[in-house]
Amino acid sequence: MIRISIDAMGGDFGPEIVIPGLATALERHPDIRFVIFGREEEVRPVLNRHPTLASSIFHHCDVSVRMDEKPSQALRNGRWKSSMWRSIEAVKTGEADVCVSAGNTGALMAMSKFCLRTMANVERPAIAGIWPTLRGESIVLDIGATIGADAQQLVDYAVMGAAMARSLFEIERPTIGLLNVGVEEIKGQDDVKDAARILREIPLPSLEYYGFVEGDDIGKGTVDVVVTEGFTGNIALKTAEGTAKQFAQYLRDAMGRTLMAKIGYLFAKGAFNHLREKMDPRKINGGVFLGLNGVVIKSHGGTDALGFASAVDVGYDMARNKLLSKIAADLSHFHKSPVGVAFQGDAENDSEAEIEPQA
């Protein structure tokens, strides 16, 4: 049985989409048991409409974190008692194997760091996203936990991303690429170059270092895991989303232009539906917080029940494939290697200070 704790109050629509999402996920994976946190008067009526969820555990929480709350505010107002905090805490206490929330990313990350703390040997967590590619799916991280990353952090991301790829895609030795620019004259990015050197020098059984990749390699699926720092990763993700929307709009416009096009559209409707399904952002939903002593999945805030169910699916796979122990084992393997040991002098956990709320 996989136990998943749920922040029912997260997202733009709260329990109205979260609870139906759980029902959908349960159909796919009957061995899930949910531990749901939220305001009784809002959650209970929706829960009652879904009898399959009757075996879920429900905990009332007075406080909900708002979508526009700043991380420090959220911590001040919601620590110990909000549905977001308590769903994360359920992972810490062992009541749940993984936590899923559609709440605001900043607050969720701050609370997750504060509650679960970063793993031994990890300087700071990353958010990993699943990216549809021409070859299937790849993992891209960091898509927005932190701006900037030094060589050691990039290597940590590589190790963690590889563990996630092994959990999600069930491949033995995922390929890892470091995102870089291919333009010769560009100097700098010493961190990326240093990370490349380390990944080349330490042969790890858990991953295969491919080399540098460029932005267009992500969509091609050149590697299983693309590693970059959070600013670039977030911009790349949003840019791809924007381009996909742009293309979809062009296609709609083209198909409505002439009578012939409209007739063609009718004939090819099945194909268009297939394409729409393929491009459906709800099917791949769920950023995975990596590097903490527990797995937290962030669903898009604006998604619907189907999208939330996808985020639950991701959490299910992560828990079932024991992502956390894979990461711990791989990191420990890395840090025992000669190059890894040389690193440990620098490895300070500086992440707490940033998110400590002001009293």
Alpha-carbon distance 141 to 126, whole Å? 7
Select from 10-18, 29-37, 115-123, 232-240 the region that touches its own copies (CB under 8 A).
232-240
**DSSP one-letter string for 27-77:** HH-TTEEEEEEE-HHHHHHHHHT-GGGGGSEEEE-SB---TT--HHHHHHH
**CB-nearer residue toward its own copies: 235 or 284:** 235
**CB-nearer residue toward its own copies: 171 or 275:** 275
Interface with its own copies in residues 104-143 (CB under 8 A)? 104-107, 109-110, 132-134
Select from 9-17, 56-64, 263-271, 318-326 the region that touches its own copies (CB under 8 A).
263-271
Q: How many residues bind its own copies (CB under 8 A)?
A: 77
Interface with its own copies in residues 205-224 (CB under 8 A)? 214-220
Interface with its own copies in residues 138-157 (CB under 8 A)? 144-148
Per CB under 8 A, 28 contacts its own copies: no
**CB-nearer residue toward its own copies: 298 or 335:** 298
Alpha-carbon distance 3 to 287, whole Å? 19
Q: Are strands 136-141 and 126-133 parallel, antiparallel or unpaired?
A: antiparallel
Q: What is the 3-state secondary structure (H, E, C) of 5-24?
A: EEECCCCCCCHHHHHHHHHH
Select from 33-41, 82-90, 204-212, 248-256 the region that touches its own copies (CB under 8 A).
248-256
Interface with its own copies in residues 177-196 (CB under 8 A)? 179, 181-189
DSSP 242: H
Per CB under 8 A, 342 contacts its own copies: no
Alpha-carbon distance 247 to 347, whole Å? 44
Per CB under 8 A, 202 contacts its own copies: no
Per CB under 8 A, 292 contacts its own copies: no
Q: Which of 264, 325, 336, 356 binds its own copies (CB under 8 A)?
A: 264
Per CB under 8 A, 260 contacts its own copies: yes
**Please, how many CA atoms are within 13 Å of residue 115, restricted to the half-sphere of its CB?**
27
Alpha-carbon distance 351 to 345, whole Å? 17
**Radius of gyration of the chain, Cα coordinates, nearest whole angstrom:** 21
198 close to 189: Cβ distance less than 8 angstroms: no
Per CB under 8 A, 250 contacts its own copies: yes
Interface with its own copies in residues 41-70 (CB under 8 A)? 70
Place of tokens 């898509």: 143
**CB-nearer residue toward its own copies: 54 or 260:** 260
